[in-house]
Structure 1
Amino acid sequence: MNELPDTIQVLHVDDEPDFADMTATFLEREDERFVIETATSASAGAAQLEQNRFDCVISDYDMPSQNGIEFLKSVREQYPELPFILFTGKGSEEVASDAISAGVTDYLQKEGGTDQYTVLANRITNAVEHQRTREHVERSEQRLREIVDSLPHLLYVLDENGNYLLVNEALAAFHDSTVEDIEGSNIAEVLDGSAAAQFQQFIGETLETGTTKRAPEVEVSDPDGETHVFEPRLQPYEFGDVDDRAVLGIAADVTERKTYERRLATLNETTPELMAAETRTEVAEIGVEAAADVLGLEANGIHLYDEQSGLVPVAQTDAGHDLVGDPPTFTGEDSIAWRVYEQGEPLAIEDVHDHPDIHNPNSPVRSELILPLGEAGVLIASSPTAATFDDEDSVLVEILASNITAALEQVERTAEIRAREAELERQNERLEEFASVVSHDLRNPLQVAQGRLELLKEDCETEQVAPIERALDRMDVLIEDILTLAREGVRVNEMEDVALGEVCDACWQHVETGEATLEITTDKTIQADRSRLQQLIENLVRNAVEHGGDATTVTVGDLDSGFYIADDGRGIPADERESVFDAGYSTADDGTGFGLSIVKQVADAHGWTIRLTESETGGARFEITGTEQA
């Protein structure tokens, strides 16, 4: 059969060949879409139907061997929807009644004249177009049903009374039922009371607003009693020719996602506990309990690296001990755990008995999940069942392993910090002792020498007095700088907002600057220990004036992350700039060499960085960066 939509294939069965041919001629003239095939008996017509596909059958009633009604019944057995028109010259109410009972599409009596062919053509056209429309609708409904049933989510149409007008296979399968059984039932017959009441409320709200509604999560139990969490979404829907108001809904099963989110949230709650642990063993014990309680990895343990022994077992759950007994210490002897530790990549083994590097061939362990803990060790989860661990387990345990690693690293850092603090405390004690010695054993003789010098000046006039006085003054400054270095060290006291310009003005007043000039081009406010910052600025100003002379101009300006202090003096050679902050370094004959060392210590105490470079005028420029702006 030609299946083009503008072609109508017709089979005309009549025991009078001439009449059948004439009918075909008139029909083809009435509608050029008609293609007429003829048969002179019911059996010949049946044979034609088996060989070709037709859009419509026209049959006479009074034929030998098998009449039109009998032929119609045989056609209906194989082609129940095929349009069939009984076109007969022997008509009666009885024949018409029998034809209708047998499923005839139309009934038409033969008459004289040619108008009957126009009527017949119209009847054929109407019957075929009606059938084609119905087939198109059925195909569309079938495609829609296939699409609906292919959806993984639960899809349904409910009328305003909560009756299911349409459901898909996913919904029926969830309830361990069939589409046919659920369609036509009420939500109260399918869902428990709470869920049914919620859905009835959602239906009312959706129809009332006339808009799509994303409903709150609903808990629904499956036939096994397991609770699932669904996220429903409903919208008003026109369901075919049904006048009742209805909603189209789709519900996604988010149970696994919600379970994952809960486990992840609980896992994150263990992070503060891990980070608060003070020892590696304490971290390991918290880690194995979290893996068991939160992730369900009941049999697990943590091995931490020891330089002398290898990967030593530190913590293990009771279930882990029941499964593997006392865990071994892993070394580099081709063990799986050691390889994971060295390579730093997690490994999931579906069946350890199939692995060439199994540690114990007689072990009851079948599947394992091994995760590195940085350079600290490994976490091992075990199961007596093969292929136990899924992707979700792997993701969550990797998060836990990351948290355990961070906690172990913090323990190490804390231990190092405490060791450094203890060493600094010992150094401070020694420095304090040194400062006391300097203060007592040097200042006392110095004060005696200064007193005697005053007496000498009263008793006689000599040119030797001035050099002695200058030497004693220099010793006094030197002792003061040494005491500052020893007592202040790298400590800062309370930090506060300090206006840089104001503190520079104050420092300028405290330093002997002669005819030198101060230019402040910053209005920045920074966080600093005011007294230590003054110490830094005074020493830099004093250094600029002492080396540049009374005509020096000192400039204080902004940097992106700090400030600078520059002068227009003779500067410092590039090959000496790395040494200027060393204690004792000085280019002045009467300098102590401690001023810039103190500046460096003040900067370090604040966490700042100081760098010496050349100013625009060729002088020295000290750049202090890393300050925190208030």
Structure 2
Amino acid sequence: MSDVDAAGFDAERESKLLGVLAASRRLFRQLSVEAVASVAVDEARQIFGLELVAVRLLDDGALAPISYTAGVVDVFGGDPPAYPRDDSVVWTAFETGETQVVADTTQIDALRGLPVGSGVVVPLGDQGVFTAFSRERAGFSETDVRLLELLALAVAEALWRVKRDEQLVAAETRLELAVDGTGTGIWEWDLVENELVVHRSAATVFGYDPPSDKTYLTVTEHLEDLLERIHPADVNPVVERIANALETGTVGGGIEFRAWTGQEWRWLLARGQLEHGSDGDPVVMRGVVSDITDLQTVETELRRTSARLEAILEAVTDVVIIYDADGTIRFVSESVTSVLGYEPEELIGTKGGRYIHPDDVSSVLDVVEKARASKTRERIRYRMLAADGTWRFVESIGNGEPIAVGGGYATSTRDVTQQVRHERALETLQTRTSDLMQAETVEDAAHEAVAIASEAFGLPLTAVWRYDADSDTLIPIAETPQVRSVIGPAPVFDRSRGVVWDAFDSGTVQVHPNLRSNPDVYDPETAIETEVIAPLGDFGVLITAATETNTFSERDKALVEILATTVTAAIQNTRRKRELTEARRLLERSNEDLQQFAYIASHDLKEPLRTVSSYLSLLESSYDIEAALGSDAVEFVSYATEAAERMQEMVTALLQYSRVETHANVDSTVELDEALELAMLNLTVRIEEAGASVTTDDLPTVVGDLRLLVQLFQNLLDNAIKYNDSETPTVSISATIDDGRCEVTVADNGVGIEESMRERAFDVFERLDGRVGDGGTGIGLTLCRRIVERHGGDIRLDDAAGGGTAVKFSLPLAEVSS
């Protein structure tokens, strides 16, 4: 692989890595399984350029496609099928939890005969798989596989998060208390006359069927019958309540009892008040009676629903909290103990704000206000005080709509401390990747890597080893201070330290959660109990360790893999930069030697040529060559003189060419109008003799060398006049400005240059056949290109409007103060 190809490869890998990091953040913002799957497929297609990507989730014993690219539809000739349980690589990946890389998909029955060459199947935990296929065999590099695994890890996390949100389903009970015809009856009992009068609606409540023409009925004669209509269990309480009211002179609250309607027992609620006479004795009791049977049914169902809801809340792993409008905690699910360490009773009755970090209170209140104002569901992350005194990052989802029954506002809260740490570590890595990639030496990259692991990832026991081919050992080159304090100086690993070499030789990450359980690996002289070993390509390994067993989570392992991949790219980048620097040094040395040679050669050739020209001139002036040597000799001497003069011109041009690099100051401010004016002054005789017309627009001020820019205009004007067969040669000079640069156009009405010949016109000593005009050195346009490139610009030939040639070149604009 060439330097250019390798640099491109590193840039592509870095681009993919940054793409995966950005995709992770986008996945975590989705609110449904379908949205997560769709984003995952779209991101894989864009980051890796894959056209055959799908997300399959477990559904009814099969891995069913949830989202897939259009390329998958093309391959299957329609929607892809679900995969029932079998021994294919798709199910192998799902059941083993390990990525399956297939270099030749003919081993997959469902894909045999389809235009698919290779693939990668990555498990999504216990939820499904993420598949990516290529039409080529062996179409996935190891780097692509690792990055796909990182993307799949983010997909699995996002899916789990969405499904967790769906566990809490709002349970609302609607109360519809509407008794036809109000369901309420009016009654009045005259205590003096012992006469009970009821409204017809009250009679209906008790099951009577009053005449349609009667509004009020006297039912005194039916009192015994009325009492018989009250449920036997409720008769005594009703009678006692009435007697107590008459004795005390106060009715108190209403009384509930059951009454027979002739078809069923119905629950009634009777309320009344006493009216007293002048002597203070009660004389009238009047009130209302209502059918509350439906309400009793609703209350009974409500109690059952509340019981079921509490059971659901206790089963949810997130903490469910119900707040009153003023923020007082009314209910907390049992899961608060496992998440934050509190017992529910410790929180109930307290204000929720006391557990929110002071720096987060304002933002939480803003979200609460927004949710209640718009009656929408809102999500927010903040820090919450745990029972052990630490601050934990949590994510709460709350509904701004109050609970239908009982009031209050419910929230679901989960601990996202590890997730926040992981996301912040990725963001820090993304920020510091630039510094890592700018490392000048391998050692600089290694030291930056252990600093990132310790400061950003919270992995203080991290070190980097470099492979030494001469001794066939791994030699430590960077370590955190904590490594030295725990194990002393990092050791040199020879082949006897097998686990390290397993990772280096295989190129795969090795995780050892419990070193003590493996006597061949465990070193009792150190406090190290757990380690993760990540290979750094052919350079060496990165190892991070801990003093407790089973310390590293899947997220930690993923962070180490990402860091190792980035460090490997940085190390390879330092190698490429070193190689490019050396190549540039050699090239500059070569260019200097060539320039020196051209200068010396042209300078030393001038004197011999001058001598030859002088003797030829002396020969022509001093002798009658034709008489002495014949007419042919005259012609030969003329040819020799012209050749010597032409050689003199070529040497002079070559000397000018060599001086472009060595005798130029391209950092000055130059007015192009002045440079053009000087060039035209130098060509005054040429312009007048040719009868040429030169027109120009106002030209800008640029950064450059006045002498070289005068030479540039002079060469271009000379060519425009020299190679022009029109009766009146015309040359126009104009300029356009864009993004800090100007493009100058020198256009003529001459013979023009064929498109196929335009690039050759810039070659040294190249003279195009068939050009009108006298001979030249063949170095004029070559010198023009060298001058323009010396100024950081470019030059090209084009057709002029109306025929002829347009020479266009760009120069940097000068900053002109206003």
* TM-score computed with the length of structure 1 as normaliser: 0.60
Q: Alignment partner for residue 579 of structure 1, among 760, 770, 775? A: 760
Kindly state the Cα deviation for residue 281 of structure 1 after the two structures are TM-superposed. Answer: 2.7
Q: Alignment partner for residue 155 of structure 1, among 321, 325, 343? A: 321
Distance change in 2, residues 1:316/1:217 (3 Å): same
Look up the SS of the partner of 1:584 in the other structure.
Answer: coil
Determine the structure 2 residue equivalent to 1:416: 579
Determine the structure 2 residue equivalent to 1:479: 651
Q: Alignment partner for residue 717 of structure 2, among 541, 545, 568? A: 541
Determine the structure 2 residue equivalent to 1:283: 445
Determine the structure 2 residue equivalent to 1:222: 386
When Rg is computed on C-alpha atoms for both structures, the one with the higher figure is 1
Determine the structure 1 residue equivalent to 2:534: 370
Structure 1: 5+ residue stretches without partners: 7-25, 32-60, 63-83, 98-103, 111-115, 341-345
Q: Alignment partner for residue 599 of structure 1, among 768, 784, 787? A: 784
Determine the structure 1 residue equivalent to 2:567: 404
Taking every aligned residue pair, what percent have the same amino acid on both sides?
22
| C-alpha distance in 1 between matches for 2:786 and 2:578 | 25
Residue 184, structure 1, aligned to residue 349, structure 2? yes
Kindly state the Cα deviation for residue 540 of structure 1 after the two structures are TM-superposed. Answer: 3.3
Per-residue Cα deviation, 1:134-193 (whole angstroms, up to 9, x for no partner): 024335544654676648356341564x643333444465453443453234569xx57x
Q: Alignment partner for residue 337 of structure 1, among 475, 500, 504? A: 504
Distance change in 2, residues 1:526/1:308 (3 Å): farther
Matches within 5 A, 1:250-399: 253-260=415-422, 262-264=424-426, 267=429, 270-271=432-433, 274-275=436-437, 277-302=439-464, 313=475, 315-317=477-479, 318=483, 325-328=491-494, 335-340=502-507, 347=509, 349=511, 362=521, 368-370=532-534, 372=536, 379-381=542-544, 388-399=551-562
Look up the SS of the partner of 1:326 in the other structure.
Answer: coil
| C-alpha distance in 2 between matches for 1:618 and 1:207 | 73
Look up the SS of the partner of 1:228 in the other structure.
Answer: strand
Matches within 5 A, 1:40-55: none
Look up the SS of the partner of 1:598 in the other structure.
Answer: helix
| C-alpha distance in 1 between matches for 2:359 and 2:474 | 58
Matches within 5 A, 1:563-574: 565-572=746-753
Kindly state the Cα deviation for residue 327 of structure 1 after the two structures are TM-superposed. Answer: 2.5
| C-alpha distance in 2 between matches for 1:620 and 1:207 | 71
Determine the structure 2 residue equivalent to 1:53: none
Distance change in 2, residues 1:352/1:174 (3 Å): closer
Residue 85, structure 1, aligned to residue 231, structure 2? yes
* 8 Å contact kept, 1:212–1:234: no
Determine the structure 1 residue equivalent to 2:117: none
Per-residue Cα deviation, 1:418-448 (whole angstroms, up to 9, x for no partner): 3244334533543564365356534456667
Determine the structure 2 residue equivalent to 1:132: 297
| C-alpha distance in 1 between matches for 2:235 and 2:583 | 119
* 8 Å contact kept, 1:153–1:250: yes
Structure 2: 5+ residue stretches without partners: 1-175, 178-203, 210-226, 244-254, 270-289, 524-528, 626-633
* 8 Å contact kept, 2:258–2:265: no
Residue 167, structure 1, aligned to residue 332, structure 2? yes
Kindly provide the amino acid, as one letter, of the partner of residue 653 in structure 2: D
* 8 Å contact kept, 1:202–1:215: no
| C-alpha distance in 2 between matches for 1:138 and 1:177 | 27
* 8 Å contact kept, 1:507–1:538: yes
| C-alpha distance in 1 between matches for 2:472 and 2:708 | 49
| C-alpha distance in 1 between matches for 2:363 and 2:794 | 66
How many residue pairs get matched?
527
Kindly state the Cα deviation for residue 132 of structure 1 after the two structures are TM-superposed. Answer: 1.0
Look up the SS of the partner of 2:762 in the other structure.
Answer: coil
* 8 Å contact kept, 2:503–2:533: no
Kindly provide the amino acid, as one letter, of the partner of residue 279 in structure 1: T
| C-alpha distance in 2 between matches for 1:581 and 1:509 | 25
Matches within 5 A, 1:61-100: 85-86=231-232
Kindly provide the amino acid, as one letter, of the partner of residue 330 in structure 2: L
Kindly state the Cα deviation for residue 288 of structure 1 after the two structures are TM-superposed. Answer: 3.1
Residue 516, structure 1, aligned to residue 692, structure 2? yes
Look up the SS of the partner of 2:232 in the other structure.
Answer: strand
Look up the SS of the partner of 2:321 in the other structure.
Answer: strand
Matches within 5 A, 1:468-507: 474-489=646-661, 493-494=665-666, 507=679
| C-alpha distance in 2 between matches for 1:566 and 1:200 | 68
Distance change in 2, residues 1:402/1:598 (3 Å): farther
Matches within 5 A, 1:433-472: 433-434=596-597, 437-438=600-601, 441-444=604-607
Per-residue Cα deviation, 1:181-224 (whole angstroms, up to 9, x for no partner): 53234569xx57x9699969988998999969999986544233
| C-alpha distance in 1 between matches for 2:723 and 2:786 | 21
